[in-house]
Amino acid sequence: MTQHVAVVIGAGGMGQAIARRIGPAAHVLVADHSQEILDAVAGQLADEGYQVTAQGVDVSSREAVAALAERAASLGPVLSVVHTAGLSPVQAPVPAILAVDLLGPALVLEEFGEVVAPGGAGIVIASMAGRFHPDLPREQAQQLATTPADRLLALPICDAAAFADSGAAYAFAKYANQLRVQAASTTWGARGARINSISPGVIATPMGHAELASEHGAGMKMMIDASNAKRSGTPADIAAATEFLLGPAASFISGTDLLVDGGAVAAVTTRAF
Ligand SMILES: NC(=O)c1ccc[n+]([C@@H]2O[C@H](COP(=O)([O-])OP(=O)(O)OC[C@H]3O[C@@H](n4cnc5c(N)ncnc54)[C@H](O)[C@@H]3O)[C@@H](O)[C@H]2O)c1
């Protein structure tokens, strides 16, 4: 039997947990911008018995994402694609957030939408931050959802100067991820594949720790305390949701966003604190 390929883009906290969860029995293609992280993670997974191929990628580069998709297809049928690569507001200025968190997923949806195998499925990791972004007027939302990736950052609503700070750009990008996954659901469906997004709450990864240590940390801790779970999420919480959405139990689920936040958005929305 041909071994299927599971692509994990972004080898940080969530990417590693997801690779471990969906990797057994697959050929895992793991990718990241940081060669140091990539080498360490690929080496560790190989030591643990996973079949791993590693490839560097900058998700904001069409060429690099296309090369990654081509590599994936060369390894076998691409049944799982999970996009976790991202930058948080404390890590980068507005233009980098837009390039990595907005353009990056758009490129991945387009390029992997060309190689995903029938019966395959994909996940884009968005964020609960996107749930706090106000809905855009219908015409703008449509533009954001469907403008080809190469022209996306040229839209007036994506102009870096329009964002007050990195946090505003991040929330916008993550809101856009959900819209683009909705739009990609139909194109992926034409290949017999599904695509969904997951919006995590605060998750204990290097990125989550950096956010908690920032000036926004106190507000985030209050939100966690007021939530149903009263704890940060673990990368394993996100890996479990990913496995579900990629698997046969989710065969009727496509183009949607699953909020995995321990009830934090519910607490904020209902003003529980
Ligand atoms: N951790 C949280 O609290 C949290 C909450 C909500 C959403 N998210 C989202 O979850 C996803 C995964 O985050 P994480 O917590 O695993 O973070 P992480 O920092 O542990 O991992 C992110 C990885 O993305 C890689 N990366 C950054 N820029 C890249 C680029 N241009 N090309 C390729 N790789 C690149 C980094 O090198 C890193 O390994 C991100 O999209 C993030 O925005 C995280």
- Tens of pLDDT, residue by residue over 105-131, are 999 999 999 999 999 999 999 999 999
pLDDT tens-digit readout, 46-61: 999 999 999 999 999 9
Check residue 125 and give its pLDDT: 99
Across 83-100, average pLDDT: 97
Q: Each residue of 32-41: pLDDT tens digit?
A: 999 999 999 9
Residue of 39, 172, 205, 221 best suited for mutating to test ligand 1, as the one with most atoms within 8 Å of CB: 205
pTM score: 0.98
pLDDT in tens, 216-250: 999 999 999 999 999 999 999 999 999 999 999 99
Q: What is the pLDDT of residue 1?
A: 60
Atom 38 of ligand 1: nearest residue by CA position:
12
Does ligand 1 come within 6 angstroms of the Cβ of 13?
yes
Q: Ligand 1 pocket, 202 CB below 6 A?
A: yes
Q: What's the pLDDT score for residue 182?
A: 98
Closest CA relative to residue 56, chosen from 43, 44, 67, 45 = 67
> Which of 7, 29, 32, 59 most suits a substitution to test ligand 1, by most atoms within 8 Å of the C-beta?
32
Tell me the catalytic residues. 170, 174
CATH class of residue range 5-201+234-261: alpha beta
**CA–CA separation, 160 vs 79, rounded Å?**
35
Q: Where are the domains of the chain?
A: 5-201+234-261
Alpha carbons within 13 A on the beta-carbon side of 264: 25
